[in-house]
Amino acid sequence: MTQLYDSADKGTAAEHDVVMRGRRVMEITGVKQVESFDSEEFLLLTVMGTLTVKGQNLQMKNLDVDKGLVAIKGRIFSFDYSDHPSGEKSKGLFNKLFK
């Protein structure tokens, strides 16, 4: 896990942008933490919630810890935001299954 810091930690609002170039490169600012990543999925904690990026042959092209910038290259299929921390959603599903 890589911890990234931004201006939100200092009490000011942090910027968050997602720029996609031809479904091959995605640049994301306002990333606080990289939760996990592999060739098919990136899970990023941003200042606007948890961002999941799915695709094929995904690779981290750039990581700038100081600026909270992550660039991903590969074939991008989808990206989705969740306001819940990554563990809560899974925990809720398992709790429902085993009640």
pLDDT in tens, 32-87: 999 999 999 999 999 999 999 999 999 999 999 889 999 999 999 999 999 865 44
CA 80 to CA 43: how far, in whole Å?
10
The mean pLDDT of 1-14, rounded to a whole number, is 48
Fold of 2-97: Immunoglobulin-like (2.60.40)
Return the pLDDT at 14: 74
CA 80 to CA 48: how far, in whole Å?
11
* Count of Cβ atoms closer than 10 Å to residue 30 Cβ: 24
Domain coordinates of the chain in residue numbers?
2-97
Four-CA torsion 37, 57, 83, 31, nearest 10 degrees: 60
